[in-house]
A and B are shown apart, each in its own frame.
Chain A
């Protein structure tokens, strides 16, 4: 065997070794990747045939089953009024309730001193008369700064809940707020799958 032939054979050996190393690295990477994804990978299997069926996607659906009723009482500094409405989870998954938005509020000396708060009243058949007694209102905002927030409550599938809405005018409301109104605010309640 001449030296060039030996060199060529050696190169082939190294090339094969390189391919093997690459394959080994690939296997190792796959192993690491699978392990990193967590879960179990038991290999028990059993199968049976079933009759043909229909697979249908579920849906999240939150509906207003009773509209908001606010009292006609005029607000003055220090006064809080309460209204209620009812939401129903008519979808297929439980929903965590949030206040998504409060819109339709122009910035006036009245609205700048107006606090709007929302709470879920856990009592069955609750009315607005029950609203003042609630321990807390998880969502409470100045009407002109109504950032979204959680109501801290989950509505099960098919369940309904009475929501209390309070409106309060600050004691230090400007005198120019007298007679002003927020004629049509829109309160949007969101439901999110937990």
Chain B
């Protein structure tokens, strides 16, 4: 039998049962709230900075002038001061720029060491060596520095060649010190560039004066000769130096007549030779010709 109004009996029973269950469960439910509290503190953090300086590299400038073999090359010892001017420790490395493709750079030996005193002529313990073209690693005492750390870096250079073989070569370099902490914090510093060169007597600039049938070539002594230099001069054919018109002599002039240049191209040069160091130079060409007598062009 079904109710004539509203819900069926079965639905009414189910509704009442559900309502009762809800009321019982809700009435006996456990409180879910918990007690909490919180408190705060404040703080600050700041990042460091990186910077460094290297002072003294320009003092490495020099001109090599020595007699004999490479073993006789003087050793140039100079002092550089490296300072970590930032607020973070740094790992150092050294590089030399301006040496790519340079003929002299591989011939200049570079030695580095640290000292707590003054740089002596003898490399200290732990010294490292290379060349300007392939510079050495920094010595152990110069690999790291704390913030504000300063140390003296000694550098010596010498020519691993003779003056005769390397005369006139020159290299202008920059020593660059790099400091790094972490992966990306990199800072670099360098002092001014310095130039090292190998002595070569500079060419003379002869003048040509005719007097009758005599042509006189005269010049002044090269300005860059050292005090001990013994410079001699000779005149040769400009296009064939084996044709010697006047042999080496110490005077600052030579006199020529037409017979002196027979078999020559008519263009001559004056060669200067500093026999002590084995360096020579060649003047600009001078043209002479024979028209009855020898004349200046």
Contact = CB atoms under 8 A, between A and B. Distances in A.
B181 A33 contact: no
B41 A187 contact: yes
B9 to A, nearest CB: 6
A165 B45 CA distance: 12
Interface string A168-191: 011111110111111111111111
Question: Mostly helix, strand, loop or mixed at chain B's interface?
Answer: mixed
Contacts of A185: 42-45
A76 B19 CA distance: 67
B21 A32 contact: yes
A75 B45 contact: yes
B240 interface: no
Interface residues of A, number: 67
Contacts of A74: 46-49, 87-88
B43 A76 contact: no
Given A68-B42, A167-B45, A182-B45, A33 B185 contact: no
B39 A181 contact: no
A18 B9 contact: yes
A36 B39 contact: no
Contacts of B37: 59-62, 91, 95, 190-191
A192 interface: yes
Interface string A74-91: 111110010101010001
Interface string A47-72: 00000000000111111100110100
B50 interface: yes
A169 B45 CA distance: 10
Contacts of A83: 43
Nearest to B40: A188
A119 interface: no
Contact of B38 (A14, A58, A172, A191): A191
A184 B46 CA distance: 10
A93 B35 contact: yes
Interface in B1-24: 1, 9, 12-13, 16-24
A146 to B, nearest CB: 13
B24 A33 contact: yes
Contacts of A22: 9, 12-13, 16
Contacts of A63: 39
Contacts of B24: 30, 33-34, 36-37
B36 A193 contact: yes
Nearest to B87: A74
A12 interface: no
A78 B182 contact: yes
B223 interface: no
B129 to A, nearest CB: 32
Given A114-B45, A167-B45, A178-B48, A91 B181 contact: no
Contacts of B16: 22, 25-26, 29
B42 A26 contact: no
17 contacts: A21-B13, A22-B13, A25-B13, A29-B18, A33-B21, A62-B37, A68-B42, A70-B44, A77-B183, A81-B45, A83-B43, A173-B182, A175-B185, A178-B50, A184-B44, A185-B42, A187-B43
